[in-house]
Amino acid sequence: METLKYNPDIFDLDVTPLREVNQFLHGDASGLNGKSVVIENPNGAHNIAVGLKSDIDVTIKGHAGYYAAGMNQIAKVTIEGSAGSGVAENMMSGVVHVKGFASNAAAATANGGLLIIDGDAGLRTAIALKGADVVVGGSVGSFSAFMAQAGNFVILGDAGEGLGDSIYEAKIFVRGTVKSLGADCEEKTTSPEDRKILADLLVKSGHADVNPDSFQQYGSARTLYHFHVDNAGAY
């Protein structure tokens, strides 16, 4: 590949193909650690900054398409706009911050790290969550946290239908109203330990002024862990 004729820390997707940008971001971790990279004119491109494995700070100056920052490890990715479906999908660690709206399936199967969404999020947010933390400043769509196995899901707004359907051991905290709960999801009493988890996530996500006591916690009723004929209609 020929020598790049621009500042390697600033990429303009109107000039540079996304494939080249992602190849740069996937370069030698020891050379990328501590770097700050700005991606301009993303224009809703898909798969921006996916699979990052270095301690790098990436800022996307605009809207991102599908699967932005998917499979993230260690990196901090900030999207100064909205994100399409699957933002931070299968994230392992690091921080992804969406300053606008996030579409469907944000943080799907995410194993670790922190996803912050300042605005609303679409259907199936945190679906099959496996250990990550997700904080949504607005409301979330229906069937969010479906089959969520582990992790913490904080919603400062409202939740749609079927929240936490078939949930395992993830913890959900909702400040607003819930249209309906899914199968095997129920209200919980918040323990001091869970309140601390919630308070810490509010601080980390920029909501330190929000009272943790204004949230209702939800989690698994644990009636679907093993098949029982009386619950057949819920499976």
165 occurs within a structural domain: yes
b/e for 71-98, b at 16 or more Cβ within 10 A?
A: bbbbbbbbbbbbbbbbbbbbbbbbbbbb
Residue 57: helix, strand or coil by DSSP? strand
Q: Please enumerate in sequence order all residues whose Cβ is within 8 A of that of 185, keeping only pairs 6 or more positions apart, or say none.
A: 145, 163, 164, 165, 167, 172, 218, 219, 220, 221
The pLDDT > 90 percentage for the chain reads 86
- pLDDT more than 70, % of the chain: 92
Measured CA to CA, the distance from residue 51 to residue 91 in angstroms comes to 8
Whether 63 is covered by a domain: the verdict is yes
- Banded model confidence at residue 234, pLDDT cuts 50, 70, 90: low
Q: How many domains does the chain have?
A: 1
Evaluate whether residue 2 is within a structural domain.
no
SS3 118: coil
| Model pTM score | 0.92
**Residues paired with residue 115 on neighbouring β-strands, in sequence order:** 96, 134
Is 112 a domain residue? Answer: yes
* Structural domain contains residue 4: no
State residue 71 phi and psi, 5-degree precision: 60, 30
Q: What is the dihedral of CA 223, 177, 198, 88, to 10 degrees?
A: 80
CATH of the domain at 59: 2.160.20.60
User: Bigger pLDDT: 136 or 31?
Assistant: 136
Q: Do the domain assignments include residue 206?
A: yes
pLDDT of 232 reads 60
pLDDT by residue (tens digit) across 87-142?
999 999 999 999 999 999 999 999 999 999 999 999 999 999 999 999 999 999 99
Answer yes or no: is 115 within a domain.
yes
Going by their DSSP bridges, the two strands 171-174 and 216-220 should be labelled as antiparallel
C-alpha pair distances (Å), 127 with each of 2, 86, 140, 144, 211 = 42, 10, 12, 6, 26
- Is 230's pLDDT higher than 80? no
Structural domain that includes position 196: 10-234
Cα 30 to Cα 79: distance, rounded to the nearest angstrom: 24
Q: 117 lies in a domain?
A: yes
